[in-house]
Amino acid sequence: MEPRSGEPTSPPPAGRGAKAGLREALLRAAAAGRQCSAGSGTGGGPMNDWHREWPAPAKINLFLHVVGRRADGYHLLQTVFRFLDFGDILRCEPRSDGRILLATPLPGVPPATDLTVRAAEALRSVTGATTGVTLHVEKRLPMGGGLGGGSSDAATTLMALNHLWRTGLDSLQLQRTGLALGADVPVFIHGRAAFAEGVGEHFTDLVVPSAWYLVLVPGVAVPTQEIFRSAGLCRDTPPIAAADWRPGFGHNDLEAVACDLYPEVARHLEWLRQHGDARMSGSGACCFVGFARESAARSALASLPAGMHGFVAAGVDRHPLVLI
C-alpha cells in the first residue's frame, strides 16, 4: 500500500521450508491479552508483560484496486486485508533513562528512521510518556515484500507500548497516530480482516473463509513509491460497495506495473498460477495462492523449483493483540 514514509528495501532470504513460528506467539498473546490487568511494574505496565513477546503478523491483500487520486497526490484504494499466522516478533525492555533505543537495527537503516523507533517516539509525543524502552525485533518478514512488515512492526510497537506505558489511547487514537507513520499501520491496530477504502484507513469488517496460503518471496525488493509513480498504473478501476465483495473478486492493479519492472515477480506468479488464482500482495514483491487444506499448501511448497523460496501460513481474521 502507498507509504507515508519510506521502508527499507533490501529483502532478507525466506527459507524454502520456513515455518510459521508465530503461531505459538499468537496463542501466548491471546492468553496474555485476557490477563493484562494484573500488577504494575517499571513504566506503569504489568511487570510480567515486559517479558512477553509481541507478535507483528504479516498481511496479504486479497484484492487491491486503485479507484482514484486525491488532490494531495495520494491514491484512493479499495482492498481486503487479511492477516497471516507468520510474522515478526517484538520484545520491549524498560529503560529508566527515558531513551528509546533499537537493539536490532537493520543493515543500512539508521535506527532513528526505523518505523518501530518512530512509532515509540510518536506515542510519547502524543501522550507525554517519559519512560524509555529498548526495542528488540526478530525479523521474519521480507522488506519490500508487500506483506506489511514495517507497518506491522510499527503497529505492534504502538499497541505494546500503549499497554506497557499505560498511556490509555483507544484503538481509533492509535490508528490516527499510526496513519502518520504509514498507510498500512492502521489496519494492524484495527485488528480484524477488513474491506478498506480511502488511502486504506476506512474499514468494514469481513468474515473471510478459512484458507491456507503459499506465499512466495522473490529475491527482489519493490519500492512502493516506484509503483505508485508509474505512468502505467491503472488509477480508475470502478469502486464497489464493501457488501458486494466476494472471495475471488477483483485483482491487484499494482501487479502489472510490478511485473513489468521486476520480471522475478512475474516469474513467481506464473509458477503459482498452476495451483490457483495467484496474486501479488500490496505493491509486491511477494505473491500468494490460497488452499483449502494445509497439506495441499505444503505439498505445493515442497515442489518449488530450485531458487524459489516461500512459506505456508494460515489466514487469521483477528490480530493477536486486538484484545489488549
Residues annotated as catalytic (active site), given as ranges? 59, 184
Query: For every residue of the chain, which 3-state class applies, written as one string?
Result: CCCCCCCCCCCCCCCCCECCEHHHHHHHHHHHHCCCCCCCCHHHCCHHHHHCCEEEEEEEEEEEEEEEECCCCCEEEEEEEEEEEEEEEEEEEEECCCCEEECCCCCCCCHHHCHHHHHHHHHHHHHCCCCEEEEEEECCCCCCCCCCHHHHHHHHHHHHHHHHCCCCCCHHHHHHHHHCCCCCHHHHHHCECEEEEECCCEEEECCCCCCEEEEECCCCCCCHHHHHHCCCCCCCCCCCCHHHCCCCCCCECCHHHHHHHCHHHHHHHHHHHHHCCCEECCCCCCEEEEECCHHHHHHHHHCCCCCCCEEEEEEECECCCCCC
Nearest alpha carbon to residue 178 among 23, 319, 35: 319
Interacting residues of 145 by C-beta distance below 8 A, sequence separation 6+: 11, 217, 221, 222, 281, 284, 285, 286
Half-sphere exposure of 163 (CA within 13 A, CB side): 28
Which triple of cell numbers denotes residue 310? 516461500
CA distance 73 to 261: 22
